Amino acid sequence: MAVDKNMRVLIVEDYKTMLRILRNLLNQLGFKNIEEASDGSEALHKLKAAPFDLVIADWNMEPMTGFQLLKEVRADEKLKKMPFIMVTAESKTENVVAAKQAGVSNYIVKPFSTETLKAKLTSVLGPF
């Protein structure tokens, strides 16, 4: 079954440039229903206020990091099964291990290509 391109996607990123890039690349892949948050706490507020189908989050943000957001999401009974992709420049082994152990759905290291983004979306959501 093909991915529903009308799904609600939440991008969590504090760099406006990267927000815009992610939004544009997702648009190119057919996703139009996109919302934004500038850190984990704002994202958590939005996730609890309305249903989303996918979270794409940076790691390094203030006051709440993407990693903290991931743990909050996985600890929430209503949100814990939410597909969650980390897109970050943090590429150390301990980061990937910690994110995987915390329940991240997939992990993209910056800088990345549209092909990589598409491959990870396919891995998490299913074929386009």
Partner 1 sequence: MKPTPTIRPAGAKSQPTSAFVQGLIAALDGDRNVTVKTLIVALQAMSAYIQKVRQDVAASEPMTLRTHHLPAAANELEAVVQATAQATHAIMDAAEAIQTIALTLDDDPQQMLVQETTRIFEACTFQDITGQRVTKVVHALDVIEQKLDVLIRSFGDAIEQEAAKETAVDPAPEGDAALLSGPQLPGLAKTQDEIDALFDSV
92 binds partner 1 per the rule CB under 8 A? yes
116 binds partner 1 per the rule CB under 8 A? yes
16 binds partner 1 per the rule CB under 8 A? yes
Contact 35, 12 (CB under 8 A): no
- Three-state SS at 87: strand
Could you give the CA distance from residue 83 to residue 79 in angstroms, rounded to a whole number? Answer: 9
Could you give the CA distance from residue 15 to residue 50 in angstroms, rounded to a whole number? Answer: 24
Of 8 and 15, the one with the shorter C-beta distance to partner 1 is 15
72 CA to centre of own chain: 14
93 binds partner 1 per the rule CB under 8 A? yes
How many residues sit in the footprint of partner 1 (CB under 8 A)? 36
100 CA to centre of own chain: 14
Q: What are phi and psi of 57, to 5 degrees?
A: -125, 140
106 binds partner 1 per the rule CB under 8 A? yes
Among residues 1, 49, 50, 101, which is the contact residue for partner 1, using CB under 8 A? Answer: 101
* Residue range at the interface with partner 1 (CB under 8 A); choices 3-11, 17-25, 34-42, 49-57: 17-25
In the complex, the residues that contact partner 1 under the rule CB under 8 A are 15-18, 20-21, 24-25, 28, 59-60, 65, 67-68, 89-98, 100-101, 106-114, 116
